[in-house]
Amino acid sequence: MDEAATGRATTRRMRPHTALARIRAGAGWIGLLAGGATLAAAAVPVLAPAYLAGRLLAAAEDPGALAEIRLERAATPERLEAGLDAAIAAEDEDLARSFLALAEARGLPVDPARRAGAEALAQGRVARAARDFAAGAVSGSAEGMAGLAGTLAADVTGIGDLRDLLREGGRYARAEPYDPLLLGMALVGLPLTLSTWTAGAGAGPRAGLTVLKAARRGGRLSPALAASLGRTVRTGIDGEALARAVGASARLDLAGARTAASLAIRPGPATRLTALAGDALALGRRTGQRGVMQVLGLARDPADLARAVRLGERLGPRTRAALALLGRGALALGAGLAALASALLAGLAWCLGLALFCRRLGLLIGRMVWRRPRASAACPGEVGAIGAG
């Protein structure tokens, strides 16, 4: 009897503890379900931006891959139609064909009327070329390859560089406001003109400098790029040699002006300008003259032009349309780097939350499994105590 009473007393003492354990287990499951619901609700809004941010950050050094990723969202039918209409209105045949190529690559339909309008631009090609050539030769602006040819015709004779050297160099000598970029390109361009005349070695850089000058005169150069190049030139000018070059230009002494010009700008800035001219020429071969002007209007530093060359290698005829839709976003991550990093961190935090959820789920399931043997083991004692009673 004593043993039976003791068993019943023990059972009564265990019941409150068992009830409390069940309440705790239930609360644990409720908390786990709430956490799981929160993770499920946050999955799409957190993971989708985090995945995109990871792809963009991984492609940060590859402009072509970066543009391809961003075009997945930017190249909508509405934006492609608007871009194609703008290209047709501007009589920009290359840009119109670029939008058609992008639409084809994305598998998007193009309205037959718009396609016909783009193809009709080819009919006025000769008239536009003659107009652009005349404007390039007279004013130094360059619209299309014909405009560049007209500008180059003036520059390759040295007349364009002499004109810029006299004007900007004279202002420099009088301590008046001057354009350091036009002055620097004239100083670099005159010796290149001589190389072009004698051996043809400077023809490529000479043409690239002409593109840069045309962009500067036409207001196509971005303020950031113009300021960056201007600072480079200012630090490299030799005032005495520049005065000699200006004097020779005033006497129309082309040979003397070239010799003095080569000494008036230091090798470092001259090399940077020549390299930039080479990138402009390489880009022009892939995107056309107007494509170069697009990039020069977006670039913030010379490195952006080198990125644009790599972009052209990847996208080919779609390059200009990508630049029109994405802007500088086709070349670099830009100011959104902090937002991308935040999205990626949010995704990592979600993954950490999922790991903690799985850990908690495993603990709760483990407690359920390991409690049952103890409960079963207690039953024989209780039965024996009752039988003894």
Q: What pLDDT score was predicted for residue 371? A: 62
Burial class (CB in 10 A: 0-12, 13-18, 19+), 357: middle
**Which residues of the chain have a pLDDT value below 50?**
1, 5, 8-11, 14, 134, 137-140, 146-147, 199-201, 375-389
pTM: 0.71
| pLDDT number for residue 167 | 92
Q: Which residue(s) pair with 265 in the sheet? A: 237
Q: Which DSSP string corresponds to 262-330?
A: HHHB-HHHHHHHHHHHHHHHHHHHHH-HHHHHHHHHH-SSHHHHHHHHHHHHHHGGGHHHHHHHHGGGG
CB 280 within 8 Å of CB 302: no
Per-residue pLDDT, 114: 92
Quickly list DSSP for 60-85: TT-HHHHHHHHHHHH--HHHHHHHHH
Tens of pLDDT along 158-191?
677 888 899 999 999 998 999 999 999 999 988 8
At 90, list the tokens: 């501007």
| Strand residue runs (E) in the chain | none
| pLDDT for 75 | 93
Q: Mind giving me the DSSP string for 240-259?
A: HHHHHHHHHHHTT-HHHHHH
Q: What is the per-residue pLDDT for 323?
A: 95
Report pLDDT for 61.
87
Nearest one of 141, 185, 178 to 161, comparing CA atoms? 185
d(CA 135, CA 179): 22
Distance of CA 311 to the CA centre of its chain: 10
Alpha-carbon separation of residue 110 from 95, 179, 274, 318 (angstroms): 15, 45, 41, 15
Q: Which residues pair with 237 in a beta bridge?
A: 265
Instruction: Give pLDDT, residue 385.
Output: 44
pLDDT tens digit sequence for 187-230 = 998 887 765 555 444 566 777 888 888 888 888 899 999 999 99
Can you tell me the distance from the alpha carbon of 322 to that of 59, in angstroms, rounded to the nearest whole number? 16
Would you state the pLDDT for residue 386?
A: 40
